[in-house]
């Protein structure tokens, strides 16, 4: 991991207007820094704001207030620069159902202007890693949920991005597949200094994979740190206790 900060948010605010009277504050005063090569886990219960934060950082949503910088550029001013250098594995949809597994990778990489020969080499390697080589010429629409997730993981990686946002990369993926994905992400961080921001509901995955985690609750960042630091700070036996304590308001002894 390097010292260079590649993601920085300051007092980030996102309010969704629903109709005239209802608003949802999805992110509230979120200030966060993530360094190059770091595997950073975003945790939080359903509706906490994890996907919203990722979508702001890749330019799919504009913040209501505060600032966000990715690779030193402001997401509202310089999103083209950022988009060329980051990849997103979305929580939902985003896959090209009518294309085959291989075509999904090649087409996506082509959008980034990567030469076909390079793409074919990378696709071979990635499809091997995620175990879809034999199915590479099948249309994705017939794939199971976990197989689609694997295609999306491979597709995000084919552009060899500086930063990879993965919104629940292992949800629905079987035990062995999830292990493969985790091993791959660890390698990209340690060998290539790629920065990985992932969300997950699997706290074991977080303990194994993430250098640091940020816990969101109702749009607020309620804790940031190394899993072991948080356990110490909150006098908890494990990350699950930290998480439960912070999110339910029970058993938070730290501060
Ligand atoms: N496009 C939208 N329009 C209106 N409200 C939205 C929109 N997107 C998200 N929200 C609201 O913002 C809040 C945060 O949602 P978000 O999807 O970021 O949560 P999350 O932490 O990713 O949850 P999950 O674990 O279920 O994926 C929720 O209250 C949600 O209903
Ligand atoms: Mg989400």
For residue 206, name the pLDDT band (cuts at 50, 70, 90): very high
Would the pLDDT of 231 be above 50? Answer: yes
Q: What is the mean pLDDT of the chain?
A: 92
Cα torsion 123, 73, 89, 113: sign:
negative
Once rounded to an integer, what is the mean pLDDT over residues 220-225? 96
Pairing between β-strand 212-217 and β-strand 39-43 as defined by DSSP bridges: parallel
210: left (phi over 0), alpha (psi -120 to 50) or beta: beta
Beta bridge pairs of residue 67: 10
CB atoms < 10 A from the CB of 189, how many?
Answer: 22
Contact indicator for 239, 247 with CB cutoff of 8 Å: no
CATH architecture of 1-85+163-168+196-255: 3-Layer(aba) Sandwich (3.40)
Once rounded to an integer, what is the mean pLDDT over residues 99-108? 95
Would the pLDDT of 96 be above 70? Answer: yes
pLDDT at res. 89: 87
CA of 167 to the centre of ligand 2 (A): 7
Q: Which atom of ligand 1 is nearest to the CA of 52?
A: 18
pLDDT at res. 252: 53
Would the pLDDT of 218 be above 50? Answer: yes
Cα 24-25-27 angle, rounded to 5 deg: 140
**Residue boundaries of the structural domains of the chain:** 1-85+163-168+196-255
pLDDT at res. 18: 80
CA of 90 to the centre of ligand 2 (A): 9
Would the pLDDT of 255 be above 50? Answer: no
Beta bridge pairs of residue 65: 13
From 16, 21, 168, 206, give the residue whose CB has the most ligand 1 atoms within 8 Å, as the site to mutate: 16
Residue 175 near ligand 1, beta carbon < 6 Å: no
């Amino acid at each position: 991991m390097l010292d260079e900060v590649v993601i920085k948010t300051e007092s980030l605010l996102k309010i969704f207007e629903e109709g005239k009277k209802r608003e949802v504050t999805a992110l509230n005063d979120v200030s966060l820094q993530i360094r190059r090569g770091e595997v950073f886990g975003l945790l939080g219960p359903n509706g906490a704001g994890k996907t919203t934060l990722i979508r702001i950082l890749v330019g799919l949503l504009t913040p209501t207030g505060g600032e966000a910088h990715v690779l030193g550029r402001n997401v509202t001013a310089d999103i083209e620069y950022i988009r060329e250098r980051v990849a997103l594995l979305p929580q939902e949809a985003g896959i090209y159902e009518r294309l085959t597994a291989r075509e999904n990778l090649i087409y996506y990489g082509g959008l980034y202007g990567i030469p076909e020969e390079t793409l074919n080499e990378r696709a071979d390697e990635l499809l091997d890693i995620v175990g879809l080589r034999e199915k590479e010429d099948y249309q994705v629409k017939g794939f199971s949920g976990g197989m689609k997730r694997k295609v999306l993981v491979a597709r995000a990686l084919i552009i060899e991005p500086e930063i990879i946002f993965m919104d629940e990369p292992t949800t629905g993926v079987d035990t062995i597949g999830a292990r493969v994905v985790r091993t791959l992400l660890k390698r990209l961080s340690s060998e290539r200094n790629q920065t990985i921001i992932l969300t997950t509901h699997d706290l074991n995955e977080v303990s194994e994979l993430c250098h640091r985690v940020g816990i969101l609750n109702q749009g607020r960042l309620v804790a940031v740190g190394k899993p072991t630091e948080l356990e110490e700070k909150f006098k908890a036996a494990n990350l699950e206790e930290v998480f439960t304590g912070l999110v339910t308001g029970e058993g938070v002894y730290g501060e």
